[in-house]
C-alpha cells in the first residue's frame, strides 16, 4: 500500500498539524505502509528517515493548484490523504481546490481528508472547506465535535465515511529528568506550553499568575517555540513587563523534543487557558495529559476537578477562578496520572490502515 499524505508543514517548521502528520507518517511506515508526504518547501523543513518527503515551492494560492496536483500525482499513490489546515497553507485556495483537481485527473483514486479544524470555523469558511472536501471518500475528525460537524456538512454525500480518530500527544514523554525551573524550595512552577496566539488566552494567564504570585512564591514558565505569530508573541512579552512579572517569568524559546518533554515534566501545574475553552484538537492539552501533569484549563461546559484526567476546569476568561484553580491544583494531595508511552500513535496508525484497506478494497 502506497499512501501520499499532503500537509502544510512538517518538523521542524512550527506547526502542530505538521507534528501530527509526522507522527502519523512514522506510525504508518512502522505498520508496513509506504509513505510519501508532499509538503511546503519552508525554512526549517528536515528530511525524515522513516518516510519520503517531497517539498513543493508553493504558497497554496489558487494558481498553484496545478503545481501541487502534479507533485501529488507524481507520487503514484494508491490513496491521497490531505491534512487540513496548517500554517503553510496560509489563506490560499489551492488546498481547497486540490481534492477536485486530483479527482479530475484520477477519478478512481480514493481521497481522504482530516479536518483538524472545522466545527468552529465561520460559516463562510466552513462552507468553503466542506465544498473542497466533497470528493473525499474518507473524512477524519480528531474529536467528537469535529466529526459531528463533518457529518452534518459533508456526510450527506453517498459513499462518504466520516469517522472520529482521537489524536495523541505530539510530544512523547522522554526518559529524561524534569527541567530544574524551581529557584528556591517551595516555589511553585506554573507552566504553559503551546504557540503564542490570541486564542490561547495568554492575557488571562498573566492576570491569574499575578494573583498566584501575590499568594505564594511562584515562577511562570512559557515553554517551547512561540510559533509564527511574531507580533503577538512580542505583545505577550511586553505585557509580562508591564505587569511587573518579568523577574518571575521564563520564556524558554524553541526546544528539542526531549528538552521540551523535560520542560513539561518540570511544571508543578500546567495551565492552558484557551479563550474559547478546551476542544478535542488541542495538542498542547494532549501533551500535558501524556506527561501525567496536573492541569488547569478552560471549558465552556465543565467546571471543577476531573480526577481521571487530573484536570481542573474554569470558565474562559475568568482570571480570578483560574488563579484559585492553580493554587488548588498545587495544594492537592493527588499525584500525577500515569504518563503515556507513545503507543497511542501505533493505535492511531492501525486505525488509518484499517480504513485505507476498506476504501481500497474492490
pLDDT, tens digit only, all 362 positions of the chain: 999 999 999 998 888 899 999 999 999 999 999 999 999 998 888 877 899 999 999 999 999 999 999 999 999 999 999 999 988 888 788 999 999 999 999 999 999 999 998 887 888 888 999 999 999 999 999 988 899 999 999 988 888 999 999 988 888 888 889 999 999 999 999 999 999 999 999 999 999 999 999 999 999 999 999 988 899 999 999 999 999 999 999 999 999 989 999 999 999 999 999 999 998 888 899 999 989 999 999 999 999 999 888 999 999 999 999 999 999 999 875 555 555 555 789 999 999 999 999 999 87
Taking each helix axis as running N to C, give the angle between helix 123-133 and helix 144-153, from 0 to 180 degrees, rounded to the nearest 10.
70
235: which 3 cell numbers?
Answer: 505583545
> Which residue is it, cell 492539552?
285
255: Cα separation from own chain's centroid: 17
**Residue count of the chain:** 362
CB-based contact 233:222 (threshold 8 Å): no
pTM (predicted TM-score):
0.87
Torsion angle (degrees, nearest 10) of CA 16, 18, 21, 25: -130
268: which 3 cell numbers?
Answer: 508543578
Asked if 2-166+343-360 and 188-331 have one fold, the answer is yes
pLDDT attached to residue 342? 59
Q: Which fold has domain 2-166+343-360?
A: Rossmann fold (3.40.50)
From 204, 194, 232, 216, select the one nearest 330 (Cα to Cα): 216
213: Cα separation from own chain's centroid: 30
- Round to whole Å and give the CA distance between 263 and 224: 8
- What is the CATH architecture assignment of 188-331? 3-Layer(aba) Sandwich (3.40)
Parse the chain into domains and list their residue ranges. Answer: 2-166+343-360, 188-331
Amino acid at each position: 500500500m502506497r499512501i501520499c499524505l499532503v500537509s502544510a508543514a512538517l518538523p521542524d517548521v512550527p506547526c502542530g498539524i505538521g507534528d501530527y502528520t509526522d507522527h502519523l507518517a512514522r506510525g504508518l511506515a512502522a505498520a508496513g505502509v509506504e509513505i510519501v508526504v508532499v509538503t511546503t518547501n519552508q525554512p526549517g523543513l528536515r528530511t525524515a528517515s522513516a518516510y519520503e518527503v517531497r517539498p513543493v515551492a508553493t504558497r497554496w494560492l489558487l494558481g498553484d493548484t496545478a503545481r501541487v496536483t502534479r507533485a501529488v500525482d507524481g507520487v503514484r499513490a494508491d490513496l491521497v490523504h490531505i491534512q487540513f489546515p496548517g500554517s503553510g497553507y496560509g489563506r490560499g485556495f489551492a488546498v481547497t481546490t486540490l481534492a477536485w483537481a486530483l479527482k479530475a485527473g484520477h477519478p478512481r483514486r480514493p481521497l481522504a481528508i482530516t479536518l483538524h479544524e472545522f466545527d468552529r470555523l465561520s460559516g463562510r469558511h466552513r462552507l468553503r472547506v466542506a465544498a473542497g472536501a466533497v470528493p473525499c471518500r474518507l473524512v477524519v475528525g480528531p474529536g467528537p465535535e469535529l466529526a459531528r460537524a463533518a457529518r452534518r456538512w459533508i456526510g450527506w454525500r453517498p459513499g462518504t465515511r466520516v469517522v472520529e480518530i482521537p489524536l495523541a500527544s505530539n510530544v512523547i514523554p522522554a526518559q529524561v529528568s524534569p527541567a530544574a525551573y524551581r529557584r528556591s524550595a517551595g516555589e511553585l512552577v506554573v507552566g504553559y506550553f503551546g504557540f503564542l496566539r490570541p486564542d490561547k488566552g495568554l492575557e488571562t494567564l498573566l492576570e491569574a499568575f499575578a494573583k498566584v504570585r501575590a499568594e505564594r512564591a511562584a515562577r511562570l514558565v512559557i515553554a517551547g517555540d512561540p510559533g509564527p505569530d511574531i507580533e503577538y508573541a512580542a505583545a505577550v512579552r511586553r505585557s509580562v513587563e508591564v505587569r511587573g512579572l518579568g523577574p518571575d517569568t521564563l520564556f524558554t524559546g524553541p526546544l528539542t523534543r526531549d528538552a521540551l518533554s523535560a520542560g513539561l515534566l518540570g511544571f508543578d501545574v500546567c495551565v492552558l487557558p484557551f479563550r474559547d475553552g478546551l476542544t478535542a484538537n488541542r495538542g498542547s492539552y494532549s501533551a500535558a495529559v501524556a506527561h501525567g501533569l496536573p492541569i488547569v484549563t478552560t471549558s465552556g461546559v465543565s467546571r471543577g476537578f476531573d480526577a481521571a484526567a487530573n484536570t481542573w476546569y474554569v470558565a474562559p476568561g475568568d482570571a480570578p477562578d483560574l488563579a484559585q484553580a492553580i493554587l488548588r491544583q498545587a495544594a492537592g494531595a493527588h499525584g500525577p496520572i500515569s504518563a503515556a508511552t507513545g503507543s497511542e500513535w501505533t493505535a492511531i496508525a492501525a486505525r488509518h490502515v484499517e480504513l485505507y484497506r476498506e476504501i481500497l478494497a474492490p
